[in-house]
């Protein structure tokens, strides 16, 4: 097979490239250049492209750079900024996967005559009971990334490979070290690639939009304090809301009235989540099917059902997920689908 | 078949250059600044090379400063004169980044000189940009992407009239392989050239300056190159550069036989592409171009995808401007010529060398037509936009 390996310059995709090449496929590596602006970390700095190129040289494959920065700006960065302005807490990595890695790159690969695209994600593609390919959690539970892959639809799974899905992170690093790859000891990427570690979210957002002060009130509307930037407040947050807030947490962020409402922790407990942007790997689950819902990248799954009308009903009360974050439904350790928590 | 059509990025060294460098490296090793006979041999070698370079450029030997390449030469030309000159820098919008970024880094006001659709600088605008408060004017001899040749005499006349105190620099990196530099550069105060663009090695270039030009160094140290560029000279590379220039001059011969031959091949390649791809647009055709450059755009075709397929097909080409990561950006040169950002992302630069053959050009033409046709009909950016 002719396989395009998406190489970010990290250890996981380095080893993915090596494994696909070792398996005897015709392999070409590509690094997506996504972010054109200033950043000191993440998967698209010049240094990361250099790292990927060096690994490709060592593995003995050709390497190309695909400049998707315009699409990234339009489909990931702009919505991220607009989401924050609307009081959401968006996860740009989800949108990057949805629009760039598992759409734009797949179409580019198809256009260039590739049979498959491999990435260095910690997840597995397995044959499901119905014979269709299914998306399964990684063999390394602690590093499992199936949550951020929930938007991959079944037809795309057919063209994808996750070569390190059966390995633990330790095994991946050991493999990279045994091959003498410099990325073997490279730290995992953290946080949002286009937000710099030094400036943080505030600096980034303030370069794009005006940040607005907001009143912090309790559920009765009593004024408890003020925050300098409503756009930086996340539902579930307590810190930074002022001393009068005490043991209360943000339960709503309303840009219209420039108000952050806080309430005691029990007010954050919910037994259902409304989702938008819902997608399914294969079929939409039935109303009565017992599923598991995971509400953050490494959160513990809880029992849940899907009401087929936009609501995930949870078996137990959980701390409310911030609007804009993803909720992913599993059948045991197979991804069924997911969506984004609404306001 | 492998066809190399990226000579503007760097071509194979001329055998005479390789021979001269190997000859030197296998016997000479002295530091040209030393005081003994081993050093004197090195000094003679680099000064002989300097004479050759001076003759090729039409400058005096004392005005030749060896540098690490075209970029350093451009930086020295832009930044070097500013120590004793006040005022702004005027540069064309289609200059190589080595000029534009150096100008931006200088802290001086930068006045950008626009170009027309044909890629030629707007001489009327130039007149309006020039005044007594201009320290330096930089206009290239030929463009790195389109190959468009600027009328340096016309620029120089305006500079002398309206900004008589300003220095006139020209980046001649792309012109050097093809043009008779002593006549082209007669009107300029400073000119930059690069080794690997004309059959010499990488990592060497030269800035040529007239005797009246005072330069402050940008590299500080032992004061080599008449205190204008510190650092032990790369003697072997300078010898290679000189040998390449000698070979290039000989190749040109009477009546520029090589240039005429290559221009004919280039025109044939352009004609093939324009004939087979209905909406293809050639760049800079209204102006004179150096013989090697064939630059065009194929609307709706992403340059990146095209280059990938061409590489697989055995054709080495280029597109737009490569950024630090190696990703291609929409061509700033085309955008300066009034082409939209989207269309500037669909261009292809094919640059022939003095040895490019008819067979190679025909092979490349066929491969390009086939790849462009394939991409024009496949899912790509168009589909994204439709959503």
The class level of CATH for B15-251 reads: alpha beta
Q: How far is A270 from chain B (nearest CA, A)?
A: 36
Question: How many beta carbons lie within 10 A of that of residue B377, not counting itself?
Answer: 10
Residue B378 has a pLDDT of 67
Give the CATH number of domain A2-120+163-185: 3.40.50.620
Cα–Cα nearest to B211, from B1, B43, B65: B65
Which stretch of DSSP H or E encloses residue B156? helix B152-162
Give how far Cα A102 sits from Cα of A61, A158, A161, B109, Å: 22, 12, 12, 45
Residue B381 has a pLDDT of 47
Protein fold of B3-10+255-386? 3.90.1150
- The band of A47, judged by pLDDT with boundaries at 50, 70 and 90, is confident
CB contact under 8 A, B324 and A46: yes
Q: Which residue bears the tokens 């952050």?
A: A260
Residues on chain B touching A57 (C-beta within 8 angstroms): none
Give the CATH number of domain A267-341: 2.40.30.10
Question: pLDDT tens digit string along A58-88?
Answer: 999 999 999 999 999 999 999 999 999 999 9
* Residue-range domain boundaries for chain A: 2-120+163-185, 210-263, 267-341
As given in the structure block, the two tokens for residue A45 are 């700095």
Residue B382 has a pLDDT of 43
- The band of A187, judged by pLDDT with boundaries at 50, 70 and 90, is confident
Q: Residue B169 CA to chain centroid, in angstroms?
A: 13
Four-CA torsion B245, B246, B247, B248, nearest 10 degrees: 50
CB contact under 8 A, B380 and A66: no
* Residue-range domain boundaries for chain B: 3-10+255-386, 15-251
Q: Is A267-341 the same fold as A210-263?
A: no
Sheet bearing A223-227, strands edge to edge: A223-227, A214-217, A259-263, A249-254
Q: Which of A46-50, A112-116, A161-165, B345-349 has the lowest mean pLDDT?
A: A46-50
DSSP per-residue string spanning B235-272: HHHHHHHHHHHHHHHHHHTTTTHHHHHHHHHHHHHHHH
Residue B238 has a pLDDT of 98
Q: How far is B377 from chain A (nearest CA, A)?
A: 9
Q: How far apart are CA B177 and CA A82, in angstroms?
A: 52
Average pLDDT, stretch A121-150? 94
Residue A40 has a pLDDT of 45
CB contact under 8 A, B308 and A49: no
In DSSP terms, which residues pair with B149 in a beta bridge? B142
Question: pLDDT tens digit string along B70-97?
Answer: 999 999 999 999 998 999 999 999 999 9
- CB of B329 within 8 Å of any CB in chain A? yes
Partner-chain residue, chosen from B304, B311, B325, that has the shortest CB–CB distance to A49: B325
Residue B379 has a pLDDT of 47
Average pLDDT, stretch A136-162? 96
Residues of chain B with pLDDT under 70: 378-387
- CB of B308 within 8 Å of any CB in chain A? yes
- CB of B385 within 8 Å of any CB in chain A? no
CB contact under 8 A, A69 and B327: yes
Architecture of domain A210-263: Roll (2.30)
As given in the structure block, the two tokens for residue B179 are 């043009």
Q: What percent of chain A has pLDDT over 70?
A: 97
The whole-chain average pLDDT of chain A stands at 93
Cα–Cα nearest to A331, from A128, A98, A125, A151: A128
Contact B371, B313 (CB under 8 A): yes
Instruction: Give the relative orientation of helices B257-276 and B358-376 as an angle to the nearest 10 degrees.
Output: 30
Q: What 3 state SS string does B92-105 have?
A: ECCCCHHHHHHHHH
CB contact under 8 A, B309 and A112: yes
């Amino acid at each position: 097979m002719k396989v395009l390996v998406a190489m970010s310059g990290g250890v996981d995709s380095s080893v993915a490239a090596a494994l696909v090449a070792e398996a005897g496929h015709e392999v070409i590596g590509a690094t997506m250049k996504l972010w054109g602006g200033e950043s000191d970390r993440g998967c698209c700095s010049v240094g990361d492209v250099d790292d990927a190129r060096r690994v490709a040289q060592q593995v003995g494959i050709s390497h190309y750079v695909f400049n998707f920065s315009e699409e990234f700006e339009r489909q990931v960065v702009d919505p991220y900024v607009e989401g924050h302005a609307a009081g959401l807490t968006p996860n740009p990595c989800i949108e990057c996967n949805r629009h760039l890695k598992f759409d734009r790159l797949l179409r580019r690969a198809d256009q260039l005559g590739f049979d498959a695209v491999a990435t260095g994600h910690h997840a597995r593609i397995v044959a499901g009971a119905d014979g269709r390919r299914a998306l399964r959690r990684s063999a390394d539970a602690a590093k499992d990334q199936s949550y951020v892959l929930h938007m991959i639809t079944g037809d795309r799974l057919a063209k994808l490979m996750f070569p390190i899905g059966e390995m633990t992170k330790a095994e991946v690093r050991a493999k990279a070290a045994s091959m003498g790859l410099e990325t073997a000891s490279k730290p995992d990427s953290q946080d949002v690639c286009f937000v710099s570690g030094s400036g943080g979210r505030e600096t980034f957002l303030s370069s794009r939009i005006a940040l607005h002060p907001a009143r912090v009130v309790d559920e009765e509307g009593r004024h408890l304090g003020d925050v300098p930037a409503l756009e930086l407040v996340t539902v579930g947050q307590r810190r930074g809301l002022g001393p009068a807030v005490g043991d209360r947490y943000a339960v709503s962020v309303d840009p219209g009235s420039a108000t952050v409402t806080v309430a005691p922790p029990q007010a954050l407990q919910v037994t259902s989540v409304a989702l938008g942007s819902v997608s399914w790997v294969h079929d939409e689950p039935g109303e009565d099917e017992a599923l598991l819902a995971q509400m953050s990248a490494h959160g513990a799954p809880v029992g849940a059902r899907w009401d087929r009308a936009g609501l995930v009903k949870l078996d137990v009360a959980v701390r409310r997920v911030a609007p804009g974050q993803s909720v992913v439904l599993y059948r045991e350790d197979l991804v069924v689908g997911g969506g984004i928590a609404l306001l | 078949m492998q066809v190399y059509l990226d000579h503007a990025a760097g071509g194979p060294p001329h055998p005479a250059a390789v021979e001269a460098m190997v000859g030197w490296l296998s016997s000479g090793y002295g530091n040209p600044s030393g005081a003994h006979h081993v050093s004197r041999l090195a000094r003679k070698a680099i000064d002989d090379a300097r004479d050759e370079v001076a003759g090729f450029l039409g400058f005096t030997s004392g005005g030749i400063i060896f540098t690490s390449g075209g970029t350093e030469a451009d930086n020295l030309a832009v930044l070097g004169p500013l120590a004793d000159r006040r005022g702004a820098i005027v540069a064309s919008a289609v200059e190589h980044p080595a000029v534009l970024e150096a100008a931006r880094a200088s802290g001086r006001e930068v006045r950008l000189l626009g170009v027309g659709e044909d890629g030629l600088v707007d001489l009327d605008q130039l007149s309006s940009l020039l005044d007594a408060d201009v320290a330096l004017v930089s206009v290239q001899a030929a463009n790195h992407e389109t190959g468009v040749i600027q009328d340096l005499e016309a620029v120089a006349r305006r500079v002398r009239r309206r900004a008589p105190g300003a220095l006139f620099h020209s980046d001649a990196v792309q012109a050097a392989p093809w043009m008779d530099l002593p006549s082209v550069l007669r009107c300029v105060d400073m000119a930059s050239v690069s080794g690997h663009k004309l059959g010499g090695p990488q990592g060497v270039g030269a800035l040529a300056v007239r005797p009246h030009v005072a330069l402050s160094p940008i590299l500080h140290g032992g004061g080599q190159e008449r205190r204008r560029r510190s650092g032990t000279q790369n003697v072997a590379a300078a010898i290679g550069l000189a040998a390449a220039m000698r070979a290039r001059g000989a190749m040109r011969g009477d009546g520029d036989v090589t240039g005429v031959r290559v221009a004919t091949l280039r025109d044939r390649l352009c004609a093939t592409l324009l004939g087979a791809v209905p909406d293809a647009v050639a760049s800079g055709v209204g102006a004179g171009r150096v013989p090697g450059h064939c630059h065009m755009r194929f609307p709706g075709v992403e340059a990146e995808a095209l280059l990938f397929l061409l590489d697989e097909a055995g054709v080495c080409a280029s597109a737009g401007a490569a950024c630090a990561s190696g990703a291609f950006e929409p061509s700033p040169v085309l955008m300066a010529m009034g082409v939209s950002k989207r269309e500037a992302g669909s261009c292809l630069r094919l640059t022939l060398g003095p040895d490019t053959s008819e067979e190679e050009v025909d092979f490349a033409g066929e491969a390009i037509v086939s790849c462009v046709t394939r991409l024009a009909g496949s899912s790509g950016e168009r589909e994204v936009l439709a959503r």
